[in-house]
Amino acid sequence: MSKRAYVNIVIWALLLTVPAWLPLIGGYTALASRILIFALCTMGLNLLLGFTGVMSFGQAAYFGLGGYGAGLILVHLTSNMWIAVIVGTLAGGIAAVVLGPILMNRRGIYFAMITVAIGQIFYFVAARWDSFTGGQDGLTGFSRMPLHFGSITVNLTAVPFYYFVLFFFAIGAAAVAMLLNSPLGHTFVAIRENRRRAAFLGIHVERYIWASFGIAGFLCGLAGALNALQNNFISPMDLYWVASGNFVIMAVLGGMRSFWGPLVGSIIFIGFQDYVSSIFPNNWETFIGALFIIVVLFFPNGVLGIIRRKAKVA
């Protein structure tokens, strides 16, 4: 068995058994759900950042849209959780597909600035439209509903909800893994590596950036929908540019070139947030900032980059 397959089996085994071992090291299951949700959105972002090589600093827009999509459906239309997740995913994904053409011709900092600007537009709409989104107070009035499998009813308390999240995380991760091993994924990486060469091999670079942006939007929308269900609440801050920045930090911390980088980054970030903020409630972000600087300066390929380099030397 290849080393890679071995690593994958270990990771999935650990994820499947989280409720059994996480409390033993001082964690709790809802924390793990949160980590998976942020890891899923960061995987979407990393498709752009790490694999297509374009800088999106506005992924929170699609994360937030997913949240509002799922929340609003539960408030107004149905109590079916599956439909809520699907609607949220579509909200993020379709928005990204529709907005992609504005972005796909831009480069570098211009691309990044437009992603931020789009995110801020969604933020202001959500923050001001009190009657529909709940404005600055956020959207409430919905909560996780029980799932029905035939005659069996499952209440989504912390542990069942973790598996609900893990189910969607697995779908998202499998889709990304398959994509990265496909010609489409190869083409994304080619664009990251050398746009000019790609274009002069006949590849329509802009269209592929659009595709990558759209796929990332669906993944972030899915994560956002799960996040709304996790909290039974959505804040317009989920759409704010700071939230987008956090996803970038997670991607960089974990390692942008690695498939599992976003999960590792999310574990570090959310873990830090949880543990350090219980000791320093007002300035835990200082510690994340310091860690971020250290990683960028000394380990540009993130935590997984360090491990990989060690493995190469050994």
Residues that bind other proteins (CB under 8 A): 178-179, 182-187, 189-190, 193-194, 196-204, 207-208, 211
Give the residue with the Cβ less far from other proteins, 143 or 194: 194
Distance CA 81, CA 143 (A): 10
Minimum distance of other proteins from residue 97's CB (angstroms): 15
Query: Least distance in Å: CB of 170 to other proteins?
Result: 17
Q: Please say which residue, 88 or 185, places its beta carbon nearer to other proteins.
A: 185
Least distance from other proteins to the Cβ atom of residue 121, Å: 30
- Judged by CB, which is closer to other proteins: 144, or 192? 192
Report d(CA 47, CA 53) in Å as an integer.
8
CA dist 138 and 126 (Å) reads: 8
Please, what is the minimum distance in Å from the beta carbon of residue 169 to other proteins? 19
As measured in angstroms, the least distance from the Cβ of 23 to other proteins is 39
Q: Which is nearer to other proteins, 87 or 198 (CB)?
A: 198
Per residue in 248-276, is it b (16+ CB within 10 Å) or e — as a string? Answer: bbbbbbbbbbbbbbbbbbbbbbbebbbeb
Q: Half-sphere exposure of 97 toward its Cβ, with a 13 Å CA cutoff?
A: 10
Nearer to other proteins, 14 or 199 (CB): 199
- By the 8 A CB rule, do 33 and 92 touch? no
Could you tell me the end-to-end alpha-carbon distance of the chain, in angstroms, rounded to an integer? 19
